[in-house]
């Protein structure tokens, strides 16, 4: 995406960085919003997040690995994790995976 914007600029037919920003926002805005929300929770709700990580860290690591490898998305993960049954599962430290349902 960046390469195309650069080529367009060099050819004097591009709309500059504004178009690139708009394109990136459309392509990744929702993903980043959910990722930032999870990050905010982990760093600002320390007592709860530390409890969850102590009891379900392996489960969450598995889920984040799926995001890194492109098998899952932050919006998909957050929608699964925000279900009451999944929150209880994380708090209890259940070893079950967070299903994709």
Cβ neighbours of 26 (radius 10 Å): 9
Domain ranges of the chain: 30-92
Q: Quick one: which of 72, 87, 75, 67 has its CA closest to 34?
A: 75
Q: What's the mean per-residue pLDDT of the chain?
A: 82
Residue 71 has pLDDT above 90, yes or no: yes
Query: Using 50, 70 and 90 to split pLDDT, how confident is the model at 85?
Result: confident
**pLDDT digits over 51-69, tens only?**
888 888 888 888 889 999 9
């Amino acid at each position: 995406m960046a390469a195309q914007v650069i080529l367009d600029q060099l050819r004097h037919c591009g709309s500059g960085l504004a178009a690139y920003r708009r394109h990136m926002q459309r392509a990744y805005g929702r993903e980043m919003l959910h990722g930032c929300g999870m990050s905010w929770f982990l760093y600002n709700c320390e007592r709860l997040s530390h409890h969850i990580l102590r009891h379900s860290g392996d489960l969450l690591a598995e889920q984040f690995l799926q995001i890194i490898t492109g098998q899952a998305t932050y919006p998909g993960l957050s929608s699964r994790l925000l279900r009451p049954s999944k929150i209880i599962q994380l708090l209890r430290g259940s070893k079950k995976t967070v299903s994709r349902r």
